[in-house]
Amino acid sequence: MSQQDRVVITGCGVVTPLADEPQALFDALCAGRSALRPLTLFAAAGGGRRRAAELTDFDPRRDLGKVNVRPLDRVGRLATVAARRALAASGWTDERRAEHDVALVLGTMFGSVRTVTGFDHRALTAGPSYVKPLDFANTVINAAAGQTAIWHGLRGVSSTLAGGPTAGLQAIGYAADLVRSGRAGAVLAGGVEELCAESFLAFDRHGLLGDAANGSRSGPVPFDARRAGFALGEGAALLMVESARLAAARDAPVLAVVRGHGSAFDPRRGDDEGSAARALARAIAAALADAGLEAGDVDAVSASANGSVSGDRREALGLLAAFGDGARELPITAVKSMLGETLGAAGALQTLALVEALARGVLPGIAGLGSLDDDLPLAGARAASRRLDMARGLVTTTGFDGNVHALIVERPAP
Amino acid sequence: MDAAEVRDKVKEVIANVTGIEAGEIADEANFVDDLGLDSLSLLEIAVDVDYAFKLGLPEERLQALRTVQDTVDLVLAHRVEAAA
């Protein structure tokens, strides 16, 4: 593939509890700052000791102006604001968008499940005649993508990908395919997820949230031998994925190159550890083949690990299966130690953290990491951030449903 | 509830749907021309007004609403009809 045919990333927009823009977010991650705080958005069993990475002061009007945001629910607002920031960061101004289509691929796990619940609640309590028309418009899975495209006048393909915690990364891979095939020149790609009672209560009832088991600890610790579960988070991240040719034509700075990606599914849904590990290894092998690279070309991993007892173990086994002995020293970060499990947004947040890491030559540590499981020899997973010269990084995401996705980004040539 | 109270309540409903402060909504404001509302927002206002005043009105009467004053008049007329 010639340089001109490459797929590049030219800007990112984020909404997170830690920071409103990628550089500040990366600084926070390198400093080991946690987004976890006492839950205030809704009531949950355990009261004040429950913790989540919640956005407590998100006001879409700061970005969108003094306009009516009632047609957008919280998910739509998060996506629309992240898109505004990504468009600004990548130089896709209103004028440029009037001349050239921009597409959108948005990943999400639950979409607007809270709006759906509210819609049903109103029908049951007030009566079917009094359901909210504006809420109805947001009960579909692609509501946030549609609202974002309407708001910013995006005229290209508008897609929504549902794939649990892999959705945000799959969105970037799908966007890269759209660009490579010539179906799109510029694609906003990433993911969004809101913190809501519906998902929190469900994960809590399944015993997957770490603070229920171990409230005194500061947060989830991916890959740690003492890990007890994950913490939920929320946010949105969108990356401008475009052809190198288009980026060069408009003199846009290139933050990273998307080299390749790969998907796999574990039909055993995790009840067979070996099957789960092999699925991740297949996705990584597919990403390497797509990129024309070998395992030894990967300098660092931005892992999906979130503190889950079984999920982190499967991911570690998958990395060992994919990289063999090379996995033992492979530098690994896991930003969910600080951002919580942001589900549909997670893969995009992992990617932009890694893009920033390649550019700065610093890999964020895994906040709170003490000791690893004895049989998971990943010595490259460390608590402290470190200086590291990295040309290429791998992002891995693993879902609850069996979906796994891997994507490789590369530092642009100077 | 007198006309002024009905008007205040109607403006409160509109404010919840539009995000516009109730105090900034003129008595004569047209939903489309002055407040810039789309069809879904108009429908939402009709549903919320119907619910707030327990009107139980047929769809076509609610859909005919064009202004704040229309809405206040409809509520007041319904209350007279209901009392008769």
pLDDT tens for each residue of A209-221: 988 655 545 679 9
| The two structure tokens encoding residue A339 | 């951002």
Residue B57, min C-alpha distance to chain A (Å): 10
Does the beta carbon of A132 lie under 8 angstroms from any beta carbon of chain B? Answer: yes
Residues A160 and A275 in one domain: no
Number of domains in chain A: 2
Among A256, A288, A319, the domain-final residue is A256
User: Is A63 in the same domain as A187?
Assistant: yes
Q: Is A129 on the interface with B (CB under 8 A)?
A: yes
pLDDT digits (tens, 9 = 90+) for A315-353: 999 999 999 999 999 999 999 999 999 999 999 999 999
Look at residue A271 and tell me if it is in a domain: yes
Confidence at residue A1, expressed as pLDDT on a 0 to 100 scale: 57
CA–CA separation, A357 and A184 (whole Å): 27
- How much of chain A exceeds pLDDT 70, in percent? 97
Q: How many CB atoms lie within 10 A of CB B50?
A: 21
Whether residue A284 sits in one domain with residue A200: no
Residues of B with CB below 8 A from A67's CB? 19
Do A390 and A324 fall within a single domain?
A: yes
Would you state the pLDDT for residue A173? 98
Residue A254 DSSP label: P
CATH of domain B3-19+26-83: 1.10.1200.10
Would you tell me the crossing angle of helices A273-291 and A309-323 to the nearest 10 degrees?
Answer: 50
Whether A198 and A227 map to the same domain: the answer is: yes
Listed by number, the residues of chain B in 15-44 with a beta carbon closer than 8 Å to a beta carbon of chain A are 16-20, 36, 38, 40-41, 43-44
**Which of A68, A70, A130 is closest, CB to CB, to B47?**
A130
Least confident of A107-121, A174-188, A237-251, B34-48: B34-48
User: A222 and A329 share a domain?
Assistant: no
* B18 SS3 class: helix
Query: What are the chain A neighbours of B17 within 8 Å (beta carbons)?
Result: 70, 134
- A2 located within any domain: no
- pLDDT for the residue A216: 47
- DSSP assignment of A35-75 equals --EE--SS--TTGGG-EEB--SS--THHHH-S---TTS-HH
- Give the predicted TM-score (pTM) of the model: 0.95
CATH of the domain at A23: 3.40.47.10
Question: Same structural domain for residues A290 and A313?
Answer: yes
| pLDDT confidence of residue A28 | 98
**Which residues from chain B sit within 8 angstroms of residue A134, using beta carbons?**
17, 40-41, 44
Cβ-Cβ contacts under 8 Å, A132 against chain B: 44, 47
Average pLDDT, chain A: 94
- Residues in B touching A69 (Cβ below 8 Å): 19
Interface probe for A, chosen from B17, B24, B53, B61 (most Cβ of A below 10 Å), is B17
Task: Calculate mean pLDDT across residues A10-29.
Answer: 98
Statement to judge: residues A230 and A372 lie in one domain = no
pLDDT number for residue B79: 79
Q: Which domain holds residue A64?
A: 7-256
Point out the domain boundary residue: A222, A256, A290: A256
* A245 and A273 both lie in a single domain: no
Smallest Cβ–Cβ distance between A132 and the set B20, B36, B47 belongs to B47
> Using a CB-CB distance cutoff of 8 angstroms, which residues of chain A are in contact with residue B19?
67-70
Do A12 and A144 fall within a single domain?
yes
Residue A214: its pLDDT value, please? Answer: 52
B28 CB-near residues (< 8 Å, 6+ apart): B67, B68, B69
Nearest CB partner across the interface for B18, out of A68, A130, A133: A68
| Widest distance between CA atoms in chain A | 64
Name the residue with higher pLDDT: A283 or A215.
A283
Q: Could you say which DSSP state residue A141 is in? A: T
